[in-house]
Amino acid sequence: MTAISLFRLGFNIEGSENPKTVYAGSDIGAGCYITRSDNKLTNLMVGTLGCWVQIKVKGKDWATMGLTCYHVLGPCLEGYTVGVAKTQVPGLSEKVDRSCMSEPTRDSACWKADIDRFSPRDMPTIEMVEHPPRVKHNINVTDKHADIEDDLPTEAQEAAEAELKEVLDFFNNGHQYFGRPFFASGYLRRTKTFNGRLDWALIQPLDDSRVGGNALPTVQDWQSKGYFQSQMPRKRDGVLESQGISLHNCVKDVTVVHDKVSGFKMGASTRYTAGELSWVQTTCTITEDKYVAGRSLEDRRSTEFVFAPVQLDPKIRFGNRGDSGAVVFDKLGRVMGLVFTGERPHQCDAGYIMVTPIEDVFADIKEFSRGQVEDIRILERGN
């Protein structure tokens, strides 16, 4: 089965137009292909631009950056490798071959960044970041070709051919590239409290015209996903705002002490979803860092905040593959945390996601900069 077929089974494919501006919740990916272990050229993973932030560098003006996860941008680095694994896909009875992360080439840029973070000073040769990612572009091209092959009236045929040319020209002229990896955490860093995982990256836009802003979903967006008014955030227009409630204040030890902490997100895969903070934190490992040498299973464990979906339907998920990098916000549109992974328990379709408190992410960005980043804030702009 092709990557495109898998994408259709598990991902949102709406909005395959070619925007030059990139908004919070947009699908992003590394601007390249890679040959996996079975010698097949493959599309790389899709992630989410969580939101646009601004950093204040010592002696300089505020600079706008895109916030996502490090593992989403890993394929931008030399030495990233892809294997293949038999995977069960919802809707199919038999397992299919699916690309999976493999061990980076030893001493490569990716191998070093996994262990000791990333900055452009360390690794100047990197792939750019693109929107839409090329797997979505390839779906769009396939659909446009199908439109042309249909027995359409002449006028409709000409319109379909013009649309295909526009889509191809967009990519052929490099307009999908919107930024470069700027700073990233690697896999070994942890929060100062709870031993939470830090998996973040900043993207430097090629120019300000690519910055689409942090617009919140509208009432129509939420209704299109089947949510009732009572399940939507109170703020249903406008833009994301700086942090309000802290996830750290919602727990005591590892148990949630607040009654019903709601969270909402915009992701590349599942788009607009509503969830609730789980009553207990979880201790977990992730597959992305299992290749880092010299680390025991205990070293790899972390304690995380968990969000589960509001149960409209038992098959609706709060997040899915491709939503890594999204931000979770509260009922008033205030950012609470960064989505870095998810899990689906056995015999359960809905699954849950794990979130790092946004203040921990911002604190680590400052620490990573060794005093160069003096402050960081959410860009409060819609477009």
Q: Give the lowest-confidence range in 148-162, 188-202, 208-222.
A: 148-162
> Which tokens hold the place of 360?
């921990």
Flag whether pLDDT at 375 surpasses 90. Answer: yes
DSSP 75: G
Report the pLDDT value the prediction gives residue 383, as an integer from 0 to 100.
61
Asked if residue 67 lies in contact with residue 44, where contact means CB atoms within 8 angstroms, the answer is no
Write down the pLDDT at residue 116. 86
CATH number corresponding to 215-374? 2.40.10.10
| Residue 250: per-residue pLDDT | 82
Q: Name the pLDDT band for 318 (thresholds 50, 70, 90).
A: confident
| CA separation for the pair 124, 196 (Å, rounded) | 29
What pLDDT, on a 0 to 100 scale, did the predictor assign at position 15? 55
pLDDT score recorded for residue 297: 81
* Average confidence (pLDDT) over 307-312: 80
Whether the pLDDT of residue 228 is over 60: the answer is yes
- The count of other CB atoms within 10 Å of the CB of residue 377 is 14
- pLDDT for 4 equals 52
pLDDT for the residue numbered 169? 94
- The pLDDT tens digits of the residues spanning 322-343 come to 999 999 999 999 999 999 987 6
DSSP 41-64: EEPPP-EE--EEEEEEETTS-EEE
Domain spans, the chain? 3-182, 215-374
Residue 240: is its pLDDT beyond 60? yes
Residue with tokens 């769009």: 140
Give the orientation angle of helix 134-149 with respect to helix 3-10, to 10 degrees: 100
Helix or strand run (H / E) with residue 305: strand 302-309
- What is residue 225's three-state secondary structure? coil
190 vs 55, 172, 360, CA distance in Å? 21, 40, 9
The strands making up 51-57's β-sheet, listed across from edge to edge, are: 47-48, 27-30, 129-130, 177-184, 201-205, 62-68, 51-57, 373-378
Answer yes or no: pTM beyond 0.75. yes
Split at pLDDT 50, 70, 90, the class of 1 is very low
pLDDT for 13 equals: 59
Mean pLDDT across the chain, nearest whole number? 86
Q: Pick 156 or 167 by higher pLDDT.
A: 167
How far is it, in rounded angstroms, from Cα 365 to Cα 70?
Answer: 12
* Structure confidence at residue 200 (pLDDT): 97
State how far the Cα of 232 lies from the Cα of 234, in Å rounded to an integer.
Answer: 6
pLDDT in tens, 98-113: 888 888 999 999 999 9
pLDDT at 6: 47
Residue-wise pLDDT tens digits, 136-149: 899 889 888 887 87
Q: What percent of the chain has pLDDT over 90?
A: 51
Q: How far is CA 214 from the centre of its chain?
A: 15
Helices 134-149 and 154-172: angle between axes, nearest 10 degrees:
160
pLDDT tens for 266-303 read 999 989 999 999 877 788 877 777 777 777 888 888 88
pLDDT, tens digit (0-9, with 9 covering 90-100), for 49-67 = 999 999 999 999 999 999 9
Of 352 and 200, which is predicted with more confidence? 200
